[in-house]
């Protein structure tokens, strides 16, 4: 019970400070709105401290990361890779943390700070386009807890989030470099290259032909991976993914109501390049989730999952009917709370790692 109260207070404080950061915004030297730095840092720090100071027992994979960290710094490179298939960037990070700090906890602290910082950097760009406290609340309830113990993917997703600016500015070379950097921490980051194969001008209305092309390309790409890449994967850690069967994930139907809602509001989105961009990402999200059984893994959706947050917040922003604004706000908040409980707490698989909360300073009773 006390751990739940602690997590609720964490979300509430992060949301409150984000609201103050938006309320007392300022203009930068380019004349653009930016959140109030002090309150924005407070909001960010709340999430960083709770995630970064957690005990390695909190989070699904931290104990595995701890064993990998100890082994990486106990044996030579060749011997390490006879046992692990860790991405080279993460192996190097393990070594750097050991040389500088000689303490695994610093790996958790630094990766947590980087992950949360990158999300907040992207959120800050949306001031004026959507409610910042609502975005932070939705992130904290639906995505934040996922990265407890999912360190490598968190780093890769964070780098891809920063890379999206290059797609929006049509700088494909820098985007490719960022994707390759993200791949150094999680091989699944190559999934983000899908954006190079769709020609969309996000400053204009997205053509239905472009969306159709996207929907067709994705399953073909997943089938190609299944047929051309999987036969060469022999590492035991990936066998559960390879052995899965099926084509359609029926669970994707839970997203259909949101897709319909966003489609109904699309005409109100289309004059904003950010809305257009995140709408395209959401189409990728839905399509990937639908066909995820082809390759047996749904983690790729986390590279585009941020679109869900922005489109929910944007739907409220663009509505002129205050009654509808209030209705959507209540429905979205209820959805986020329910999602958070069943995905990360309660009787879920992750719940056994999240309760009771424990960090390097104190432990909270259940």
Domain finish residue from 299, 318, 337: 318
Q: Is the pLDDT of residue 236 over 60?
A: no
- pLDDT given at position 108: 97
**Are 118 and 214 contained in the same domain?**
no
Residue 4, domain member (yes or no): yes
| Of the candidate ranges 62-71, 122-131, 229-238, the one whose mean pLDDT is the lowest | 229-238
Share of the chain above pLDDT 90, in %: 58
Residue 122, domain member (yes or no): yes
Residue 161, domain member (yes or no): no
Residue located via tokens 């958790």: 108
pLDDT (tens digit per residue) in 317-362: 988 889 999 999 999 999 999 999 999 998 888 888 999 999 988 8
Alpha-carbon gap, residue 59 to 104, rounded angstroms: 14
pLDDT band at 239 (very low <50, low <70, confident <90, very high): low
pLDDT (tens digit per residue) in 323-335: 999 999 999 999 9
The mean pLDDT value for 305-321 works out to: 92
**Are 141 and 221 contained in the same domain?**
no
**Are 210 and 275 contained in the same domain?**
yes
**Are 16 and 138 contained in the same domain?**
yes
Q: Which of 88-92, 167-171, 270-274 has the highest mean pLDDT?
A: 88-92
> Total structural domains in the chain?
2
Domain ranges, residue 120: 1-149+345-366
Q: Supply the DSSP string of 152-194, one letter for each residue.
A: HHHHHHHHHHHHHHHHHTT-HHHHHHHHHHHHTT-GGGGGGGG
- pLDDT given at position 183: 95
- pLDDT given at position 133: 97
**Are 18 and 139 contained in the same domain?**
yes
**Are 138 and 30 contained in the same domain?**
yes
Alpha-carbon gap, residue 203 to 276, rounded angstroms: 7
Residue 365, domain member (yes or no): yes
Residue 179, domain member (yes or no): no
**Are 309 and 361 contained in the same domain?**
no
pLDDT (tens digit per residue) in 13-34: 999 999 999 999 998 888 889 9
Task: Please provide residue 271's backbone torsions phi and psi, each rounded to the nearest 5 degrees.
Answer: -90, 5
From residue 179, alpha-carbon distances to 40, 44, 281 in Å are 28, 25, 16
**Are 25 and 135 contained in the same domain?**
yes
Residue 86, domain member (yes or no): yes
- pLDDT given at position 84: 85
Residue 227, domain member (yes or no): yes
Alpha-carbon gap, residue 75 to 81, rounded angstroms: 10
Q: Return mean pLDDT, the chain.
A: 88
**Are 3 and 144 contained in the same domain?**
yes
Residue 158, domain member (yes or no): no
**Are 211 and 300 contained in the same domain?**
yes
pLDDT (tens digit per residue) in 149-207: 899 999 999 999 999 999 988 899 999 999 999 999 998 899 899 888 877 777 677 77
Does residue 206 have a cis bond before it (omega within 30 degrees)?
no
Q: Does residue 352 sit in helix, strand or coil? A: helix
**Are 355 and 217 contained in the same domain?**
no
| Of the candidate ranges 15-24, 61-70, 235-244, 310-319, the one whose mean pLDDT is the lowest | 235-244
- pLDDT given at position 185: 96
């Amino acid at each position: 019970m006390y751990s739940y109260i602690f997590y609720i207070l964490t979300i509430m404080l992060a949301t409150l400070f984000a609201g103050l950061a938006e309320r007392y915004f300022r203009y930068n030297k380019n004349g653009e709105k930016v959140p109030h730095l002090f309150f924005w840092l407070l909001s960010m720090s709340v999430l960083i401290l709770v995630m970064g100071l957690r005990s390695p027992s909190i989070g699904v994979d931290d104990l595995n990361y701890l064993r990998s960290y100890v082994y990486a710094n106990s044996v030579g490179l060749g011997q390490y890779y006879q046992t692990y298939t860790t991405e080279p960037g993460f192996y190097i990070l393990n070594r750097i943390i050991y040389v500088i700090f000689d303490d695994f906890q610093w790996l958790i602290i630094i990766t947590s700070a980087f992950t949360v910082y990158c999300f907040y950097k992207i959120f800050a760009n949306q001031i004026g386009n959507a409610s910042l406290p609502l975005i932070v609340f939705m992130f904290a309830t639906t995505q934040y807890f996922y990265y407890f113990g999912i360190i490598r993917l968190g780093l890769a997703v964070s780098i891809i989030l920063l890379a999206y600016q290059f797609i929006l500015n049509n700088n494909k070379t820098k985007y490719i470099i960022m994707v390759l950097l993200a791949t150094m921490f999680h091989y699944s980051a190559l999934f983000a290259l899908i954006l190079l194969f769709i020609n969309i001008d996000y400053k204009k209305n997205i053509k239905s032909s472009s969306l159709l092309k996207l929907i067709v390309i994705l399953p073909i790409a997943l089938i190609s991976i299944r047929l051309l890449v999987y036969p060469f994967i022999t590492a035991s850690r990936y066998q559960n993914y390879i052995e899965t069967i099926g084509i359609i994930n029926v669970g994707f139907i839970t997203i259909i109501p949101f897709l319909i809602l966003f489609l109904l509001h699309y005409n109100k989105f289309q004059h904003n390049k950010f809305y257009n961009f995140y709408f395209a990402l959401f189409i990728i999200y839905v399509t990937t989730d639908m066909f995820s059984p082809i390759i047996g893994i749904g983690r790729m959706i986390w590279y585009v999952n941020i679109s869900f947050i922005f489109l929910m917040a944007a739907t409220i922003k663009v509505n002129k009917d205050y009654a509808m604004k209030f209705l959507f706000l209540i429905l979205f908040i209820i959805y986020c709370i329910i999602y958070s409980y069943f995905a990360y707490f309660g009787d879920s698989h992750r719940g056994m790692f999240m309760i009771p909360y424990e960090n390097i300073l104190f432990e909270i009773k259940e």
